[in-house]
Amino acid sequence: MAALKAGEPVTACGNGIRPDHVRYKPWFIEEENKLGKTQKFDHMKLIGQYAGGHKHLITLGRFIAGISAVIVLIPYYHLWKIISIAVNGEDLSQISRYAWQAVILTVSSLLIYIVALLCTHIAAFRVQANMRSSLMRRIITLPLGIFDEDGTGKIRRIVNDSTAATETFIAHQLPDKTVAAVTPIGLLVLIFAFNWKIGLICMIPAVLGFVVMMSMMGNGMQEKMAEYQNALETMSSEATEYVRGVPVVKTFGQTVHSFKRFKECIDGFGKWATDYTLMLRIPMTGFMTCINAIFAFIVIAAFAFSKDGITAGLILNVMYYIIVTPLITVALTKVAYSGEAEMTLIDALKRVEQVMEIEPLAENKSGKAPADNSVELRGVTYRYKDATRDAVKNVSIKIAPGEHVALVGPSGSGKTTLAELMVRFFDVSEGEILIGGENVKDIPSSELMKRVSFVFQDSRLIKKSIFENVRMARHDATEAEVLEALKKAQCMDIIEKLPKGIHTVIGEKGTYLSGGEQQRITIARAVLKDAPILILDEATAFADPDNEANVQAAFEELSKDRTLIMIAHRLSTVTNADRIFVMDDGRCTESGTHEELMNQNGLYRRMFDEYSRSIEWKVGA
């Protein structure tokens, strides 16, 4: 790996390290012309930046592929000589010599083309590796809120599919594109060299086909390709969400219609595909008709030139053109497909650059540290990307060090958004958030993460051992420290039933944990981190009654001597909080202790009464 200066961001691996001034320039390289500004996406330059020292292999591979394309046409001259000898009754012993030369040249062309593919494949693998490395290095610097806004399915598809499309283009389609460019030039020589009149007639449908093909390309087709990839990207993201909800769908006997957005994506893609097919039906029919009508024009040429009698030369030329002209069809088809492949590549690279150009949250180099564990929100407002209304509006809250507070309110009232803003998943649209008297924007992200633990509603464990999952909080933790954290999080009953204890790999050989058990492992991770500020987002949402008791006991242990911010729908879990903040439509409408809020007879009182009635409800009562 190339050496980097201290403080310089790493943007790729291997020989394809991209400097910051390259990474952040726009997708489009603007060029001035007399009519004004035009936009051109320089995809080959971008590929060269990712290829690093391997970019010369791409050039070499294309050059070798061009040589292969020239050599493979030479046997057609030998074929003409063989037909000439056979028609004119010349020395038949020469046929064997020309035939062997044709075979040797054909095999040589194939071997040379394999060498070209070897060069482009090596470069393609390097480009794909560097591109994925750059993307992943970039992704880990992005604010966590990006993954909520754009969806993990969409980002996963860019990382996997867009880089794979780039690899396929470099490895296979770049050599084919070179062959497709060189072959027509060689064919023109072959077609006009022997009988230019017949050759000219044969070129009429080829030229018409080329004109029709060009009418299908251009900016309009590039836009259609972007629409196609957008539709696939959206379906991928929605499919991910749908698969996650399959248990609910199966439990309640629902169908895909239960996931309206997913169905709308499928229906929308189907409509787009139909409209796209209908749009190209006539030009594609014209293109295929033209390139396959060349043989018919040979018949016309043969009929036109045989009026004065059939000569040996005419028979020779007609037979030759019958054999050679199908190459025109093949060449034009390759040109058409290489154009489509290039449009797919350009769209893929734009999507990669779209991720690379997302700015990470600005890091302040002052190195300020919070004075204590207090949290204060001053006039905080936030609106999600593309939203038409604020998720949080002018919220001001002050939480003292060591205070235990709760955020409650109806679904969609802004509770989770507020908690995510506290740990800087996003930056506020207006106002400011202070931890220990310092604006979170002025606190280095590493320091902020040391100060705050966040237990999510939907706990995620990676497919590694329990030990590795817990130790993610502190990589230098010993096994004894991990075990102590698990004990404090009430996890020992889980560990005891696992075949290899804390070294059991989750998901291996049928070893799985329930939602509540995963929650407790996540709490153990927070215990090990030992951060002074703890945020719990609906942390008991997936716990059954037995697990909930253990989870609550774990929380009591975890929250000792810490500033605790708890988001909950189960209002029975927040009655002992020092203060409760009630959110409604993005605003903090009430605050106080449980008793104070009950006496106010406001939203909290109504919510608590409804919750109390719900837990008292019994079947058959």
Nearest to 567 by CA among 557, 554, 555, 550: 555
- Return the number of other C-beta atoms located less than 10 Å from residue 562's C-beta: 19
Residue 517 has pLDDT above 70, yes or no: yes
**Residue 228 main-chain phi, psi, to 5 deg:** -60, -45
Retrieve residue 551's tokens: 């989870």
Exposure of 290 in the CB half-sphere (CA atoms within 13 A): 20
Q: What is the pLDDT of residue 124?
A: 92
Q: What is the pLDDT of residue 596?
A: 92
d(CA 104, CA 531): 73
Which residue bears the tokens 């060069």?
119
Q: What is the pLDDT of residue 3?
A: 36
d(CA 346, CA 486): 50
Q: What is the pLDDT of residue 154?
A: 72
- Return the number of other C-beta atoms located less than 10 Å from residue 36's C-beta: 6
Residue 234 has pLDDT above 80, yes or no: no
- The partner residues of 33 in beta bridges, in order of sequence, read 36
Q: What are the tens digits of pLDDT across the range 415-462?
A: 888 888 888 888 888 999 999 988 888 888 888 888 888 887 766 788
When mean pLDDT is compared over 8-12, 126-130, 411-415, the highest value belongs to 126-130
Nearest to 321 by CA among 75, 109, 76, 78: 76
Residue 125 has pLDDT above 90, yes or no: yes
Least confident of 34-43, 103-112, 264-273, 360-369: 34-43
Q: Please compute the mean of the pLDDT values over residues 217-240 and round it to a whole number.
A: 71
Q: Sign of the C-alpha dihedral, residues 413, 416, 417, 421?
A: positive
Of 450 and 245, more confident: 450
Q: What is the pLDDT of residue 17?
A: 41
Query: What pLDDT band is residue 539 in, cutting at 50, 70 and 90?
Result: low
Q: What are the tens digits of pLDDT across the range 287-324?
A: 888 877 877 887 788 777 777 777 777 777 777 777 77
d(CA 491, CA 482): 11
Tell me the domains of the chain and their CATH numbers: 29-356 (1.20.1560.10), 375-616 (3.40.50.300)
**Residue 534 main-chain phi, psi, to 5 deg:** -125, 130
Q: What is the pLDDT of residue 123?
A: 93
Using a cut of 0.75, tell me whether the model's pTM lies above it.
no
- Return the number of other C-beta atoms located less than 10 Å from residue 38's C-beta: 10
Side chain identity at 54, as an amino acid letter? H
Q: What is the pLDDT of residue 29?
A: 37
Q: Please compute the mean of the pLDDT values over residues 339-351 and round it to a whole number.
A: 81
Residue 22 has pLDDT above 80, yes or no: no
Q: Please compute the mean of the pLDDT values over residues 230-238 and round it to a whole number.
A: 73
Identify whether the C-beta of residue 264 lies closer than 8 Å to the C-beta of residue 237. no
Q: Please compute the mean of the pLDDT values over residues 390-412 and round it to a whole number.
A: 90
Q: What does pLDDT average to over the chain? A: 78
Residue 18 has pLDDT above 60, yes or no: no
Burial of 373-397, coded b for 16+ CB within 10 Å and e otherwise, reads bbbbbbebbbbbeeeeebbbbebeb
Q: What are the tens digits of pLDDT across the range 23-57?
A: 333 333 333 343 334 345 678 888 888 888 888 99
